[in-house]
Structure 1
Amino acid sequence: MCDYLPVASYLPHDAPMVLLDNVLHVDEERAHCQVTISNDGVLAPFLNEQGALPAWFGIEIIAQTIGVWSGWHRRKQAERKDKPELGMLLGGRGYRCQHAQFPSQARLDVFINLLIRDEKIGSFDGEILINGKRVASGRLNTYQPDSIELQQLTQQGKQNEQA
């Protein structure tokens, strides 16, 4: 059993945008994270009046599990302790959820599996389970910009804001 850092150590996000509670496992091709839907948990700002989470949040929860996978590998390979680099979700394919929302007090087990990856682009299958039953799944494609591309993107965004 490996000891993992808090989720935020692997993601470039700050609260309230960290949508996972725990890292349970990361290896060369897979990751497993968890989050519990509760009024006092990390997802509290996003819950509806019934304390449930809209199902479309599942895409970002899977994407953040990919981010944990990437951040863990970055820390391991480069032994870097600074803030993780920003990654981008290019798109998803076939995301399906059996329900319109994830129920209050449910513990979501989130699994991702690397399908293919090069230096910048990755493709992952992801799934969300509740009590061992798959309730959501999809394939997400990601992009890892280098520092020059990231700088160009942020400068472009600032110019668009000023226009």
Structure 2
Amino acid sequence: MKDRAINPSPAAIPPIEQLVPHAAPMILLDRVLNVDAETLRAEVKIRPDSLFHEGDGVGSWVGIEYMAQAIAAYAGYQSRLLGQSAKIGFLLGSRRYECAQPVFATGSTLHVTVQLLLKADNGLGSFACTITDQQSQQQLAQATVSVFEPHDASQFLEGSME
């Protein structure tokens, strides 16, 4: 994997819409800041019109979805390097999602970093994830997230429905 593009220039990173298999308004991240063979860092700005915004911000429970979408963007970028499009994946769960605050405050800019820990041939993967406040550089949340990317999502979904 080390032969893949390392730290492409920001101009070479496609828009987030091309990296995740989601459509608006379910795309929660704003953009990918940098990516390499094992790590991706994305950005999300908490605005009054952010999905799940209530009162003073977005509940920190949404952080696990920010992490999952950053993992999806990582997988989508890696697929693009192979000339493929973004594929459907599944969030299996997390170990010890810990967050230092109950709400991501309106006006804050978060950096979501995901680092590949394990990728098995059967599509199972594990990532170390963090959410950091861009201004203060304080780590706000962390988790180890498990995901599954089937080789053929349609076939997998049809088989699981029987």
TM-score by length of 2: 0.86
Ranges of 4+ aligned residues in structure 1 off by more than 2 Å = 149-152, 154-157
More helix by share: 1
Q: What is the CA deviation profile of residues 59-116 of structure 1, one whole-angstrom value per residue up to 9, with x for unaligned ones?
A: 0001100111000000112x13x4x210001110011001111111110011011111
Q: Residues of 1 paired with 2:69 and 2:53: CA distance? A: 18
1:156, CA displacement in angstroms? 5.4
Matches within 5 A, 1:113-124: 113-119=115-121, 120-124=123-127
* 2:83 equivalent to 1:74: no
1:152, CA displacement in angstroms? 4.4
* 2:153 equivalent to 1:153: no
What amino acid does structure 2 have at the position aligned with 1:59? I
Contact 2:28 2:51 in 1 (8 A): no
1:45, CA displacement in angstroms? 3.0
Which residue number in structure 2 is paired with residue 129 of structure 1? Answer: 132
What amino acid does structure 1 have at the position aligned with 2:18? S
| Closer/same/farther in 2, CA of residues 155 and 115 from structure 1, 3 Å limit | closer
- What secondary structure does 1:67 align onto? helix
Aligned residues: 150
Gaps of 5+ in 2: 1-8
1:125, CA displacement in angstroms? 0.3
What amino acid does structure 1 have at the position aligned with 2:116? L
1:151, CA displacement in angstroms? 3.2
What amino acid does structure 2 have at the position aligned with 1:8? E
Determine what percentage of the aligned residue pairs are the same residue: 31
Matches within 5 A, 1:29-108: 29-40=38-49, 44-50=50-56, 52-77=57-82, 79-80=83-84, 82=85, 84-108=86-110
- Which residue, out of 11, 25, 28, partners 1:19? 28
1:154, CA displacement in angstroms? 4.9
TM-score by length of 1: 0.86
Gaps of 5+ in 1: none
